[in-house]
Amino acid sequence: MKSLVRPHAVFFLHGLLWTATLTVHRVLFIAFNHAYLDPSTVDFIQAFRFDVSWVGYVCFGLYLPFLGLTTIGSNSKKNVLLFGLFLLPCLVQTLTECWDLVYFRYTLKRSSFDLYSFFLSGPEQFQFSNLLSKFWWVALLALSVLSGYAILSFKILQRKSQKQTLQGKHIPMYLTCLFLFFLIARSSLGPKPLGILDASKFSSTENVQLVLNSPFVVLKTIQNEAIPDHEYMSVENEKETFNPILTANAKGEEWKPNLVFIILESFGHTQIHQKTKGKSITPFTDSILEQSLYFTHAYAEGKTSVEALPALFAGIPSYLDLPFVISNYSTNKIDGFPTLCKNKGYQTSFFHGARKGSMRFDSFTKSLGFEQFYSMEDDPTPEHFDGAWGIYDHHFLNLMKTELNHMKSPFLATFFSLSSHEPYRVPKNHNFLPKGSTEIQQSYRYTDESLKRFFKSIAHSPWFKNTLFILTADHTPVQLDSEAKNIQEKYHIPIAIYAPYLIKPKKSHTPLSHVDLVPTLCEIMQWNQRLYSFGLPVSKKEVQPDEIRYLNGHYSLWNAKYEIQFNEPNQKWEVKFNESYLTKHPNKSALANALAQSKKRMLARIQRLRRDLRWNTLHK
């Protein structure tokens, strides 16, 4: 009996060791990301359930190989093989947890399997080395954790390891152990095992990612979980409440100006109109906004770059745990705005100075309808490469200018900047800000100067006077989210339409988001066009100003009257009223009715998007 118990003691002690290692990683996660979290003892208790679930999966998977190795007679050979077997889970835990120590501040989410496969199989592989060179201390942390684990593991093997003989009479016990591991892995007596979204049931929005652990998230996203199948209302009621099919009723004459979208990487509202050491960070951008139809309350659709394009050009909101571009639904048929423009005689092109394939922009822009895609490979000059991400902004803007000068009007072109992205590299001769400014501030100033040079160089081009320049950002700088006072500030970006010969400067305080931009443009250009979009033209946004976002299992809705949080797994609502609005509008009955309508619109939008994703009807 002793020969049976001691080897199993080795296995169970390693299970405890894996669990303890996850606790160490969670403490490190809090230490390095405390600005984004509000941890409590309850969160740690709930987190233990997810840690144990992961360990249950590991035990279930390694138990039979473990039994096989314990039959080896030579202790030294057996211990080496067992050590390697037991090291594997710790290696997975340490690598994924240490990656999220750093990458969490850019996405506010634990990294999924899709993200790793996305980076490792595409041109983004270099980001691993870039982040490692900047956050080299994370590698030291990882080595320290692995070394500590290795020492303890080896001691357990030396003291407890013993040869056992597999006998038929022990099969019931082996099966019992496997069944026990299966139950621990499921961590649920219901029809479904513990999942990522379950973390939303046990914690606040801020701490969902604290409750989870990185290897659990990777494991659960190897095969993506199906989107929830809640039926909040009948299809008829849903269509009456919300319909993404927009039909314009233009009364004027249709016109076809050139359209140039400029999407600035990580430019939040708080980055404009700012100074450092007495010098403006974005002087040119500030001046352009003052000369534009400038939407002061504009919002990004998501927190990552890949969420911007589906929202801007296909009207698809970011209500999934995974961005649409890298989800199972990315091959669904969509009616992109570039396709619409192409059908109206436009030439369409997209410019992004990163490697071809970066963030899957090349394939997704093609599905949107962009005919030409320009990437780093189209500017082979070595001096133009920033050494990490791609071509410096001012060089790639110059390439776009050259291409636009050879295009026939009308055309649709999009430039997606990259220099204000990690690692924030700027050319050596472009340090415009005083010494002491941060590298991030320098990168914003450089991108701003690049825009200035671009607009100066095209001011006398024959197509300039008949062009609408749409200036926006993909998302706010996520690393500054800890300074946000409310949910709105986490998405607040600039959106402006600059056309000095076509549109008068004006500040609009009507809320506008990425999905609203194309409907608004169609309204401005008097296009009687059927659109599929979860957005609205600005004229209708004045009547329905609700903004809805999804992050970490929670939906948020806000407007001038109130802010709503919807925890879908728990079906729990939280409402925070705007005190200044209540003071001016004390009619509680009207406010309650507006609140009920906002909730209904939110649920209708969620239900419609899920149905369209399932049935591939994002275009109908």
111 and 257 together in one domain: no
152 and 265 together in one domain: no
168 and 278 together in one domain: no
Would you call the peptide bond into 423 cis, given omega within 30 degrees of 0 as the criterion? yes
In the structure, what pLDDT confidence band is assigned to residue 116 with cuts at 50, 70 and 90? confident
pLDDT for 277-316, tens place per residue? 888 899 999 999 999 999 999 999 999 999 999 999 999 9
Q: What's the CATH code of the domain at 463? A: 3.40.720.10
Q: pTM value?
A: 0.80
Burial call 466-479: b when 16+ CB within 10 Å, e when fewer: ebbbbbbbbbbbbe
Identify the weakest region by mean pLDDT among 84-88, 372-376, 551-555. Answer: 551-555
* Main-chain dihedrals φ then ψ at residue 441, nearest 5 degrees: -60, -40
pLDDT value at position 73?
63
162 and 246 together in one domain: no
User: Whole-angstrom Cα distance, residue 533 to residue 519?
Assistant: 8
272 and 364 together in one domain: yes
HSE-up of residue 160 (Cα within 13 Å, Cβ side): 19
In the structure, what pLDDT confidence band is assigned to residue 603 with cuts at 50, 70 and 90? very high
Q: Residues 337, 103: contact at Cβ < 8 Å?
A: no
Q: Residues 14, 79: contact at Cβ < 8 Å?
A: no
pLDDT for 377-399, tens place per residue? 999 899 999 988 899 999 999 99
In the structure, what pLDDT confidence band is assigned to residue 607 with cuts at 50, 70 and 90? very high
15 and 153 together in one domain: yes
Q: Choose the final residue of a domain: 220, 251, 271.
A: 220
User: Whole-angstrom Cα distance, residue 25 to residue 151?
Assistant: 17
Percent of the chain whose predicted confidence (pLDDT) is above 90: 59
In 86-187, beta strands by DSSP E: none
pLDDT for 58-78, tens place per residue? 999 999 999 888 877 667 788
Q: Choose the final residue of a domain: 193, 220, 247.
A: 220
pLDDT value at position 162?
56
Q: Is residue 524 part of a domain?
A: yes
For residue 26, what is the enclosing H or E element?
helix 2-33
pLDDT at 456 over 60: yes
Q: Is residue 226 part of a domain?
A: no
Which amino acid makes up residue 607?
A: Q
Q: Is residue 24 part of a domain?
A: yes
196 and 246 together in one domain: no
Q: Residues 196, 205: contact at Cβ < 8 Å?
A: no
333 and 477 together in one domain: yes
**Cβ neighbours, 10 Å, residue 53:** 23
Q: Is residue 482 part of a domain?
A: yes
pLDDT for 498-520, tens place per residue? 999 999 999 999 999 999 999 99
Q: Is residue 91 part of a domain?
A: yes
Per-residue pLDDT averaged across 327-338, rounded?
85
Percent of the chain whose predicted confidence (pLDDT) is above 70: 93
pLDDT for 211-240, tens place per residue? 999 999 899 888 666 678 789 999 999 999
In the structure, what pLDDT confidence band is assigned to residue 548 with cuts at 50, 70 and 90? very high
pLDDT at 344 over 80: yes
Which amino acid makes up residue 403?
A: E
Most confident of 161-170, 198-207, 518-527: 518-527
DSSP 8-state code for residue 566? E
Q: What angle do CA 531, 245, 475 make, to 5 degrees?
A: 65
Domain that holds residue 63: 2-220
Q: In the structure encoding, which two tokens stand for residue 6, read together?
A: 């001691």
40 and 11 together in one domain: yes
* Residue found by looking up tokens 């050596």 in the block: 428
pLDDT value at position 224?
67
Q: Is residue 227 part of a domain?
A: no
DSSP 8-state code for residue 390? B
DSSP 8-state code for residue 212? S
User: Whole-angstrom Cα distance, residue 435 to residue 423?
Assistant: 18
Q: Is residue 619 part of a domain?
A: no
In the structure, what pLDDT confidence band is assigned to residue 616 with cuts at 50, 70 and 90? confident
pLDDT for 121-149, tens place per residue? 655 566 666 777 778 888 999 999 999 99
In the structure, what pLDDT confidence band is assigned to residue 332 with cuts at 50, 70 and 90? confident
> 65: helix, coil or strand?
helix
Q: Choose the final residue of a domain: 194, 220, 246.
A: 220
33 and 137 together in one domain: yes
600 and 453 together in one domain: yes
Q: Residues 29, 194: contact at Cβ < 8 Å?
A: no
pLDDT value at position 314?
97
206 and 347 together in one domain: no
3-class SS letters over 333-359: CCCCHHHHHHHCCCEEEEEECECCCHH
Per-residue pLDDT averaged across 424-453, rounded?
86
**Number of domains the chain is built from:** 2
* Main-chain dihedrals φ then ψ at residue 463, nearest 5 degrees: -90, -10
DSSP 175-191: HHHHHHHHHHHH--SSS
